[in-house]
Amino acid sequence: MKKYFYILCFLLIGFTFPVIAQDVSLFQQYNGRYDYTAIGNTMNTVENGTLGPCTILTSSSANLSLNSDQTIVAAYLYWAGSGNGDLNISINNIDITAERTFSDALDSSRVFFAAFADVTSIIIDQGSTDYTISNFDLNAVIAPYCPSGTNFGGWAITVIYEDSNLPLNQLNVYDGLQSVPDNLSISLDNLNVLDNENAKIGFIAWEGDRSIAVNEQLTINGNVISNYPLNPANNAFNGTNSFTGATNLYNMDIDVYNIQDNIAIGDTSATIALTSGQDFVMINNIITVLNSQLPDATITIDDDTISCGDTTIEIFYTVYNSNSTDILPAQTPIAFYYNGEFIGASETAADIAINGSEMNSIYLNLPENSEPNVTIIAIVDDDGTMNGVVKETNENNNSAFSEITLQIIPEIVVLPSLIGCNEGFETASYNLFEALNTLNLNEENVTFYLALEDLEVASNEISIPSDYNNLSNPETIYVRVERVPCYEIFQFNLTIENCPPYIPQGFSPNGDTKNDWFNIQDLYDIFTEHKLQIYNRYGDLIFVGDNEKPWDGTINRGLNNIGGLSPVGTYYYILNLNDPNYKPFVGWVYVNY
């Protein structure tokens, strides 16, 4: 398994005072042609001690000098001193407020602070010049610290720069505030030393005393390291700056050590230990610079495409190789997870250059019973088992996630049937919108279909829904209503009923093609089993008709005039529809020529 953070932990042994320190841990990492330098100065006029003056400065200066090939990429200001802290100071008359603070203590009456501010923009703007820290005033708090020689104040700026002449390095900035009156062990894990040439480690430390050299040793992997004559093996923290050669940084240190002979090619970890028999020292900042040629794969989920009612989604993603010192090779695996389950795999198509990227997409099939809100996790350099195949500068930044809302179609809502009057052969005319009257919908958002499959793909919609003739009885109509984020589905049936016929009160069978027969509307081909009987005014049955034989004024019953036309006059009818829903209709009709 990979995907773990770099861990830098301090194990403090034998402390007898309350621990309020903050563990030193990784703050920033830079991969490329990077190195660093540091400047700073003390606020003490002499090294503190019981015989020294109880005074402290409110300003001091130091010079930064970079060559033309060195381009500033970051600058971090640290300042520290006795007491709870002056957190508002100035640099070259520019006001600075602490962005982060740290604290430590010897006991309840001797507490110390450190503060941090990112001053990159200021250092880039002013470049190589003198820098003065001012308005840093501890005069009101140092008096109780002087009798024990713990009165101090100081500042330091670490400047990280890029230089095309440098090898590819991994530069790690760690910070916190931890102290060592006895033994302090630092474990640097997840290193990848490809070349140990010019490997270095640097420190910003507070309250070290040049006059106290009692078993004060700094070791890496068990080997004592020193930088004689600035930092002898028995007095590592003694008021010096390794970059400038200064020896008068009273009670503070800006030290850097070459560790080329103390770390080997292939090492993946290093242990740094500090022991002191008497001196109280606080470590605020550690920087390591190691040669490294590794990619750093990261991924972002940029977008997605979802279809209504579909659990297949298209994910658009980008793989980056930004914080790297080598190409990210082609075919680096990418895994996708849903609810912890592996659901899809991809890979990079080509080598990705340092600071390069590659965009792609993948279709993922989610389970059919997926919840509407899903979280998709993408992990680059993952073979689908949470294991990577590419060694990277940072093994813990390979993942990205996206919250996605599936477009779940609501359950189909069944509406009451729309009833039409039989217009013959079980067909009727319908205005389909009438089925939706109670829903108060915008007709522009509504389409009608004969099949659910057509509705899902929005194909073969009913073209004139306001005047539709059914094709079967009953017939199911599906309604698609466009909503955000997905459409809704309704359905209703078209049914037929035989509506009461309309019986006219006269006709004129004179052959002029106008009103030539007893045209009972909504009767023929609807009530196909009906019987029609016509009587004259004397009560004689003169005509019997059915669905195939409407009355055209002729006589087909009785002893006389069979086939002849009935005279002008009033006739009476009995219309039996032979439908259990209707009683026979009885009435009169007038025949005229």
For residue 203, the surrounding DSSP H or E stretch is strand 195-206
Would residue 506 count as lying in a domain?
yes
Q: Are residues 440 and 530 both part of a single domain? A: no
The strands making up 71-82's β-sheet, listed across from edge to edge, are 34-42, 153-162, 71-82, 110-118, 100-107
**CB 343, CB 336: distance < 8 Å:** yes
CB atoms within 10 A of CB 587: 11
Would residue 1 count as lying in a domain?
no
The residue among 338, 370, 405 that closes a domain is 405
40, amino acid identity: G
Q: Are residues 441 and 461 both part of a single domain? A: yes
The residue among 266, 291, 316 that closes a domain is 291
Question: Torsions phi, psi of 495, nearest 5?
Answer: -125, 160
415, amino acid identity: L
Tell me the two tokens of residue 359. Answer: 């965009």
> What does R_g of the chain's alpha carbons equal in angstroms?
47
- The pLDDT of residue 21 is 67
Region of residue 302 (phi > 0: left; psi between -120 and 50: alpha; otherwise: beta): alpha
Query: Domain of 335: which CATH number?
Result: 2.60.40.10
Q: Are residues 306 and 418 both part of a single domain? A: no
For 393-421, give the DSSP string: S-TT--EEEEEEE--PPPPPEEPPPEEEE
For 49-89, give the DSSP string: -TTS-S---S-EEEE----TT-EEEEEEEEEEEESS---EE
CA-CA distance, 501 to 521, in Å (whole number)?
6
Would residue 29 count as lying in a domain?
yes
Q: Are residues 256 and 311 both part of a single domain? A: no
Write a three-state SS string for 364-397.
EECCCCCCCEEEEEEEECCCCCCCCCCCCCCCCC
The residue among 291, 310, 340 that closes a domain is 291
Would residue 526 count as lying in a domain?
yes
- The pLDDT of residue 575 is 96
Q: Are residues 417 and 391 both part of a single domain? A: no
How would you write the pLDDT of the chain (593 residues) with one tens digit per residue? 343 322 222 222 233 334 456 888 889 989 889 999 999 999 999 999 888 899 999 999 999 999 999 999 999 999 999 999 999 999 999 999 999 999 999 999 999 999 999 999 999 999 999 999 999 999 999 999 999 999 999 999 999 999 999 988 889 999 999 887 666 777 766 566 655 667 889 999 999 888 776 677 788 888 888 888 888 878 888 899 999 999 999 999 999 998 877 777 777 777 888 777 677 899 999 999 988 788 999 999 999 998 888 889 999 999 999 988 889 999 999 999 998 899 999 999 999 999 999 999 999 999 888 888 999 999 999 999 999 999 888 888 999 999 998 888 888 999 999 999 988 888 999 999 999 999 989 999 999 999 999 998 899 999 999 999 999 999 999 999 998 778 999 999 999 988 999 999 999 999 898 999 999 998 998 899 999 999 999 999 999 999 999 999 999 998 677 888 999 999 999 999 999 989 999 999 999 98
Would residue 2 count as lying in a domain?
no
Sort 545 into a burial class: Cβ within 10 Å, 0-12 / 13-18 / 19+. Answer: buried
Residue 480: give the domain boundaries: 413-497
- The pLDDT of residue 8 is 28
For 21-37, give the DSSP string: -EEEEEEEEEEESEEEE
CA-CA distance, 273 to 357, in Å (whole number)?
40
Would residue 260 count as lying in a domain?
yes
Q: Are residues 493 and 505 both part of a single domain? A: no
46, amino acid identity: V
Q: Are residues 394 and 485 both part of a single domain? A: no
Q: Are residues 309 and 253 both part of a single domain? A: no
**CB 242, CB 230: distance < 8 Å:** yes
Tokens 């740094």 sit on residue:
272
- The pLDDT of residue 194 is 58
Q: Are residues 174 and 47 both part of a single domain? A: yes
CA-CA distance, 430 to 161, in Å (whole number)?
79
Q: Are residues 507 and 489 both part of a single domain? A: no
Would residue 237 count as lying in a domain?
yes
Would residue 3 count as lying in a domain?
no
Query: Domain of 471: which CATH number?
Result: 2.60.40
Q: How many domains does the chain have?
A: 4
Q: Are residues 492 and 362 both part of a single domain? A: no
Q: Are residues 20 and 140 both part of a single domain? A: yes
CB atoms within 10 A of CB 481: 16
- The pLDDT of residue 228 is 80
Whole-prediction pTM: 0.61
